[in-house]
Every structure is written in structure tokens, then in C-alpha cells.
Amino acid sequence: MAGGQGGEAGPDGEAADRYLVRSVARAIRLINIVADGPPEGQPLSDLARALGASKSTTLALARTLTSCNLLRDVRPGPRYSLGTALIRLGDIARSQLPLGDICRPVLTDLAQLTKMTSRVAICDEGYPVFIERVDGPGSVRFHTPLGQREVPHASAAGKAMLATMPEQRVREICDQTGLRAKTAHTITDIGSLLANLALVEERGFAVDDEEDAEGILCVGAVFYGHDGSCAGAISITGIKGDLPAWRAHELGRTVRRYADKISELLGGPRHADLAAPAGARA
């Protein structure tokens, strides 16, 4: 055994998908290491250590990535940080998701009306993935990462999406994630969550009352695609102290209205038309 992998133990643990290209996977891990590092970048040695590869290997990978502008080295004492090509690819990725272009104008309007940060998430196997964010005028900026799976039980968009699923599926997802507490207000009990989701279903919007972050309030609502299934959710985010308690409901109705607007653009049904039949006929 010459190469010898160094850091990783034995047969790579997963071995899930065969036919993977090792050096490419390693290069991507390198990108993620840089992404998770400090904004000013990291020197080569740190990267090699974190990657579990030799300096020469890491240099070759970093050079390759740099030549494609996925990474860039800031000049004095080469430190590597993310490159502009990632901005380009991320921008294209967002506009290729059909939702991106459709939702942006709606988010812009919503952000301006409510003066809050508004976002849209797609539904990725039941988990919310935020793909777009529009800040309101003068609104405080929150650190809200885009493009990664979030836990659904602690966000307005996530709960709005859960509320459209059968109870069985909700239990499955919650078993996977574990209902971890992110603040003292996070719902960590499956019974309470299901009760909350019933309320969400009835109202047509979900409220995250400091359940994801202390002092932050979110209101979210789902929209539907042309096939009638849940396509994603929008939500608005603000500082709880800035809002009188009674405004939550008003904001909820507003978000519900804008979500219906997106459903309409997608050729899907409005929320009320989906919920009504059973109750209305009784």
C-alpha cells in the first residue's frame, strides 16, 4: 500500500456508491473546507491538515481549483479563499431552479411591504432548502445560509412544509433529525409538533416564535406546483421585539396571500381550495 490515504481509516466507511472519482471528491472536500473557514482564507498547511493529505497533493488540488477560479489565492503568503466562479455557478444554479426566477419579484414585493427579510425554500425530500433571500429596506441582515438542508421542525418554512404531509411521513423525518432544540422555545416533542402542524394546516401559515434563534420571529407558508403537490415555502424573518404580538396574524395572512400568488404563477391550487373541500362539504 503506497498511496495510503493517511487520515481515513480502512475501507472508507460508506463505500455506498462505487465508481466514484477519488481525487474529485477530495477536491470538493477541499472547497468545503475553505468555505467553512474564515473569510480571509487559510494557508496551504492548514488545508492539508484538514484534508488529511500531503502538502504537495493539496497544492496540486488547490492550484487546479484556482486555475478555474473556484478558489483564489490572496497574495501575500498564499491563503486560499473561495473564487468568483462559485458566485457565477451559484447564480446560474439559482436561476436554473425554475422557482428562483419566479419567486424573486414576489419576494422583493413582500420584503418591501413588510420591511422584513423574505426567503423562499424548495422542498428537498421533505427538508427545506432556502434558495433565495431578499432583504427588506433597512432591515437587519441575518446570517441565513442558502442552499443547504435545514431541519424542518424549527423554522416557519419547514413547519409549513411538514403540515402538508401525512403524519406518518412527519414522524419519519423527525426520527431522522431528532427534533434537536435550537433554543429554549424549540418544539422538541413530537406530540406538540403534530398539534402545532394541525394549527398551521388550518390557518394556512406557520409561525416560528424564537424556535430557531433567540429573539427572531418567522412567518411562513407553502405554495403548490402545477401537480398540486407542495413545491416549497416562503417566509419572512424579523426581530420579535420590533413587532407587536398582534401583528403575527396579520403577517401570516399576508404571507399566505403571497404564497398563493406564487402557486398561481406555477399553475398550482391556492391553499384554501386545497383545504376547503372536506370541511366545506360537512
Residues lying near its own copies in the complex (CB under 8 A) are found at 16-17, 19-21, 23-25, 27-28, 31-32, 35, 39, 59-61, 63-65, 67-68, 70, 81-96, 98, 101, 104-105, 108-109, 112, 122, 124, 129, 131, 134-138, 141, 145-148
Contact between 279 and DNA (CB under 7 A)?
no
Q: Which residue has the cell 503506497?
A: 2
* 2 or 184: CB nearest DNA: 2
70-109 footprint of DNA as x/- string (CB under 7 A): ------xxxx------------------------------
> Hey, which residues does 230 pair with through a beta bridge?
224
The stretch among 13-21, 122-130, 160-168, 196-204 that binds DNA (CB under 7 A) is 13-21
Cα gap 136→119, rounded to integer Å: 11
> Which of DNA, its own copies, none lies near 112, with the C-beta cut-off 5 to 8 A by kind?
its own copies
User: Per CB under 7 A, does 56 bind DNA?
Assistant: yes
Identify the sign of the CA torsion 47, 52, 56, 61.
negative
- Cα(61)–Cα(27) distance, rounded to whole angstroms? 6
Q: What is the DSSP letter of 149?
A: B
Could you give the CA distance from residue 153 to residue 107 in angstroms, rounded to a whole number? 23
Contact 99, 128 (CB under 8 A): no
The Cα–Cα gap between 44 and 59 comes to 7
- For residue 172, give the C-alpha cell: 419519519
Shortest Cβ 213–its own copies spacing (Å): 17
33 binds DNA (CB under 7 A): no
List the single partner that 54 binds among DNA, its own copies, none, CB under 5 to 8 Å by kind.
DNA
Complex with its own copies: residue 86 or 216, whichever CB lies closer: 86
CB environment 190-214: b (16+ within 10 A), e (fewer) = eeebbebbeebbebbbbbbbbbbbe
21 contacts DNA (rule: CB under 7 A): yes
Under rule CB under 7 A, which residues in 126-155 are in contact with DNA?
A: none
205 and 253 Cβ atoms separated by less than 8 Å: yes
Q: Do the beta carbons of residue 220 and residue 235 sit within 8 Å? A: yes
Assess 43 for contact with DNA (CB under 7 A): yes
Residues with Cβ within 8 Å of residue 102, at least 6 apart in sequence:
262, 265, 266
Nearer to DNA, 79 or 256 (CB): 79
- The neighbour count for residue 19, using CB atoms within 10 Å, is 4
4 binds DNA (CB under 7 A): yes
C-beta closer to DNA: residue 74 or 199: 74
Pick 45 or 84: Cβ nearer its own copies: 84
Residue 15 binds to DNA (criterion: CB under 7 A): no
Least distance in Å: CB of 78 to DNA?
Answer: 5
4 binds, among DNA, its own copies, none (CB under 5 to 8 A by kind): DNA
**Contacts (Cβ under 8 Å, ≥6 apart) of 75:** none
What does the binding site for DNA look like in residue numbers (CB under 7 A)?
1-6, 18-23, 26, 43-46, 52-61, 76-79
